[in-house]
Structure 1
Amino acid sequence: MPADPPGFELPLRLLLGFRVIIDELHAELARLGHPGLRPMHGFVFQAIGPRGTTAAELGRRLGVSKQAAGKTVDSLERLGYVERATDPEDARRKIVRLTPRGRESLALSARVFDEIRARWSRELGEDRLRALEADLRKVTPPDLFRLDIPAWFGGI
């Protein structure tokens, strides 16, 4: 009977699986016309949400300073993924919202994630993949979208 792998291998394998999926996603997004997107941008887009948000709130959601959030917004604005606009509820505030290009990149990402999952299902078998997903749900918090992950890894 083979010995159990060392405990440190599990988190590294989980991280490596994440990295494989995210690297494949970004290679495909680049091929589809979005070469400037980086893994952290997906977290930023989710934190902005469908209605937009302020830079201060964006920083809170991501777990980074307002200044760090502002720099990220500046770079995404230059790339055409977000825009700053006057808040319709308070003309003194600026909100950050996704542009059509930003929304398109999210739709493409969702499609590519589905394609990657389908390929993993073919490689592993649907029953095994569903079991893996179910097991991961058992050992992880129910809050699927932890938007502060970029800050947890050291900031944006």
Structure 2
Amino acid sequence: MNTDTQPSSPESTEAKTRSGSSPTTYVMVLLMGIYLGILFAKSEVAHWQRVHDMFLFREAHMYLIIGTAIVVAMISMLIIKRFAIKSIDGKPITYKPKPYHKGVIIGGMLFGAGWAITGACPGPIYAQIGAGEWLAVLTLIGAMLGMFAYAALKPKLPH
């Protein structure tokens, strides 16, 4: 029986350093994504009619969910700061507020318009696709085009 303490095998260390994260990390992230998709579907956050009703101020369902998410995020940030929790890469998690400027207003209006038209902000797009709402693929394509357009135009935009 060998009692020497040996580091992990070179193969597992190499696999972890090459990709930046272990396969277990990817499995955990995938499971969290599946859980979030189920949560979006069951809470009806990914339903176009719920989003439409929110923007028309017909019901408070989405506002309550968004408010709850804000409270959970605030508590989570307090816990992260209090216990100096690190990311999965071992780096400290820090929050750096972004400066407020007219570009934030313009971007927010574009984001809100896209959300109102498509019924999805970036997270629920995947839940909609997973639920078989195939038109959400067009929303995903539009979101990707918007992201690439922003990246290309970023030097010319107000920051």
TM-score, length-normalised on structure 2? 0.26
TM-score, length-normalised on structure 1? 0.26
